[in-house]
Amino acid sequence: MSASDPAPRSATELLTIADVRAAAARIDGAVVRTPMLHSQTLSRIAGCEIWLKFENLQFTAAYKERGALSALLLLSDEQRARGVIAASAGNHSQGLSYHGTRLGVPVTIVMPRSTPTVKVMQTESVGGKVELFGETFDEAYAHARQLEAERGLTFVHPFDDPHVAAGQGTVALEMLAERPDLDCLVVPIGGGGLMSGMATVARATDPGIALIGVQAKLFPSMFAKLKGLDMRCGGDTLAEGIAVKAPGEFTAQIIAELVDEILLVDEGALEHAVALLLQIEKTVVEGAGAAGLAAVLSNPEKFAGKRVGLVLCGGNIDTR
């Protein structure tokens, strides 16, 4: 780099509240502005004021639609005609497939051969073309990047992309517009797209708000990355939606700068939270979506008496 070259932009310069507001304008009317409701019963149980954002009520039952659509709407006509590709066996694949198909953009999703048939069918049912490759997500991801180059497709990352994270941040825009007096936001972290987008909005709106991330104890990837620790990731978790072994590089930079701490929750806490949401709120939430409530119930002293915003980020749970 010469002295005259501009310095590379930092992650927080690549994602600002203006970017999130622009994403909100792009996706307006095409995703559900989900309700945020006060739960009297959960508030009594938790010892704090619980506000729930029902992202499990999106058409594909997860917030991932927001980021996928945000990125799709920035494609050129040529990119749209050629199509997009992603590696995902989860909510990103359905959100991208649904909105891509709705916009006339061909969508290819690469999944590991071990992906449950129901997830393949769900993605195909909303218009995605599924290709099965490899035994692990890493192999599927590498194959997707290969096909991207071979076919001239545009890769849409599930989290490590400023345009995707801007779409996810619209969740916080809506929450803080309705309840600007929230003391803290408790947000699940897998790859970090949701938290980086929401943290960008929250810090710009209310610099004093507490921002708490949550990961499953079996997959503490972002927690370990930010603390410089070598922690094993693996096992059978109810929160497979945030069971990410390699978190985002871009998202990690934003989370390191803006988020106060990351809490880890065990499987018992996740199961309890899923059950409470079903019993009390009469809503189906997947393990990842219940992680915020699990963290609050596992750390009552940290949240006592506070107004807490939780994102029920998805409702795609396997029946078992």
pLDDT at res. 267: 97
pTM of the model: 0.94
pLDDT at res. 8: 66
pLDDT at res. 1: 45
Residue 14 CB: number of other CB atoms within 10 A? Answer: 17
HSE-CB for 239 with a 13 A CA cutoff: 38
- Which residue is associated with the tokens 């708490």? 212
pLDDT at res. 2: 44
Nearest to 165 by CA among 137, 140, 190, 146: 190
CB 15 within 8 A of CB 166: yes
pLDDT at res. 89: 81
pLDDT digit string (tens) for 194-232? 999 999 999 999 999 999 999 999 999 999 999 999 999
* Domains and their CATH numbers in the chain: 12-63+161-311 (3.40.50.1100), 65-155 (3.40.50.1100)
Strand pairing report for 184-188 and 154-155? unpaired
CA 308, CA 300: separation in Å to the nearest integer?
A: 12
Give the residues of the chain that fall short of pLDDT 70: 1-8, 319-320
Nearest to 220 by CA among 249, 244, 240: 244
According to DSSP, residue 226 is labeled: H
At 171, give phi and psi (nearest 5°). -60, -45
